[in-house]
Copies of this chain bind each other. A is one copy, B any other.
Amino acid sequence: MADILHKVGIRSASIDQVYKALTTQDGLAGWWTSNTKGEGDKVGNIIQFRFGAGGFDMRVTELNAPTLVKWELAEGPEEWMPTTIQFELKEDGEYVIVLFKHLNWKEPVEFMHHCSTKWAIFLMSLKSFIETGKGNPDPYDVKIDNWN
């Protein structure tokens, strides 16, 4: 099993604001993909994330406001099955720290390398969304390679 790990620190924000950006349709659409359908504020809910080339359905499996959000992949590309995603939030001085984990990839395939870099780009979009009011969700995301 292989994991993707990341960390960003968000300034000028309360931990509640960051939690909201991870658990509401408007929040998620502000930094990951503009084409987000569903609310992530209840365990069991499904959130649909769509991108140009396809997408993911995530089932909310655990919430502990405002410090923890966990999803499992309900539907998505073969390589993402049966991965889980979690966001751990904590305050540290003037920062809200987000520890991100995309866990349990079966194999460290090239697509995992791509997704790892892409997650960093999207987490920087989350940081920008909260700090400045403007994120870079798909289709306005920064392109990294031949897979976009």
Contact = CB atoms under 8 A, between A and B. Distances in A.
Interface of A: 2-9, 92-95, 97, 99-101, 108, 110, 112-114, 116-117, 120-121, 123-124, 127, 142, 144-147
Contact of A7 (B93, B101, B110): B110
In the complex, the count of this chain's copies comes to 2
Contacts of A145: 7-9, 95, 97
A142 B114 CA distance: 20
Contact of A5 (B9, B100, B113): B113
A61 to B, nearest CB: 20
Contacts of A93: 146
Contacts of A97: 145-146
12 contacts: A2-B3, A2-B5, A4-B5, A6-B113, A6-B117, A7-B113, A8-B144, A92-B146, A95-B146, A116-B116, A117-B120, A121-B124
